[in-house]
Every structure is written in C-alpha cells, then in structure tokens.
Structure 1
C-alpha cells in the first residue's frame, strides 16, 4: 500500500478513537481544549496526503476515490487553515460521519 494511504488510514483511525473516547462526534467537536483541535489537525493531515499523491502524479491511486471526497478534503483543509474560528462544525461533523468512512473503506479494499 502507498505510504500516503497508510497515513490517511492512520489519521482516520485516530479521529475514530477520539470520537469514541468522547462519546460521539458532536461531543468530540465540543471539546475546544483537546479533541476538536486534534480532529481538525488530522483532517488537515489527510488533505496533505491527498495533495502529496496528486503532486506525485499517483492518478491510479487517486482514481479509486470519489473526486468529490478528494475535493472536499482540500476544501476542509483550506477552511481550517484560513479561518480556524469560523469553521462550520456541522460541516466537520458531516465529514467525519459520512466521508471519512467512505475513504477508509476504499483504503481497506487496497489490502
């Protein structure tokens, strides 16, 4: 498996762990001290790995993912990086609830 996919997978597992420890996505994102910043940083890291794949012209690897999911990862990264305090937590919750499991499944199918 490509190293970037391994890192994306690890970040998804970390987010899932944080959510589980806090009792849910909403609860994790409400924790301004630890959980919310950690989740947001992991989302940035996921986008950076997709960017790395794109820069290395790993189109065969990228083609396994829904293009909207990849675009969404880049958009989330930009929102977080450029307007941290203004990030829409409902949007982040939707990403964690809906899109990360889809990305995770694609990676798991790589095995």
Structure 2
C-alpha cells in the first residue's frame, strides 16, 4: 500500500467520524437529516467526499486496498455521490439514513482493519 493510497483510507475514516459527530450532536440520524441548513448539507458533503476517495483509489488501481471492500458497496457509495451531485434536492433520505446506519459502520471497520495491517 502506498502512502498516498492509505491516506485516502484515513480521509474516509475522518469523514465517517464527522458524520457520526453530526448525528450524535443532533440526537438522531433523522433529526440530523431534517436540518436543512447545517446537518443535512454537511452529511451529504461528507458522503460525497467518501465516494470521491474510493473513486481516486479506483483510478490509482489501488486494488490492494479496494479488495478489502465489497465492490457493490463501493459502487453504491459512488452512485449516491452522483445522485447527490446531480439531484441534490431530490436525494432519497431513506437511502442516506440506511447508509449512515448500515454502510458507514461497515466501511469504518474495513478501514480500521486496513490501517492496522
């Protein structure tokens, strides 16, 4: 693993931590997503940044890192990023909530495993 590639894993972890902090400060995922002014835009931006890091790893052919993640999960994250970028007002919040509740904890554990190897 190159230093440049592993730094992207650290950035993914950082963005996940930020989303967790936003949710914790709001009291729930639902409350955070209902905050149109601060919390929702921040969450969507962090999700976009996570997807961008995965895309950069793909472009770098960092297969040693990407192999630690399920291809469908990574593709799903990038699809959400595209949806956020192209239809911001129409983002399906149920999908975003599912990602926060189920996808991000999985990504977080996979990132930690990569860093600790």
Q: What's the TM-score once normalised by structure 2's chain length?
A: 0.93
Unpaired runs of at least 5, structure 1: none
Shift of 1:68: 1.3
Q: CA RMSD in A?
A: 0.8
Aligned to 2:59: 55
Unpaired runs of at least 5, structure 2: none
Give the number of aligned pairs.
Answer: 111
1:23 to 22, 27, 36: 27
- Secondary structure of residue in 1 paired with 2:61: coil
For 1:83-102, what aligned pairs fall within 5 Å after superposition? 83-102=87-106
CA distance in 1, matches of 2:50, 2:89: 20
CA distance in 2, matches of 1:66, 1:96: 17
CA distance in 1, matches of 2:66, 2:83: 22
Moved over 6 A (4+): none
CA distance in 1, matches of 2:90, 2:25: 25
CA distance in 1, matches of 2:63, 2:29: 32
Shift of 1:69: 1.0
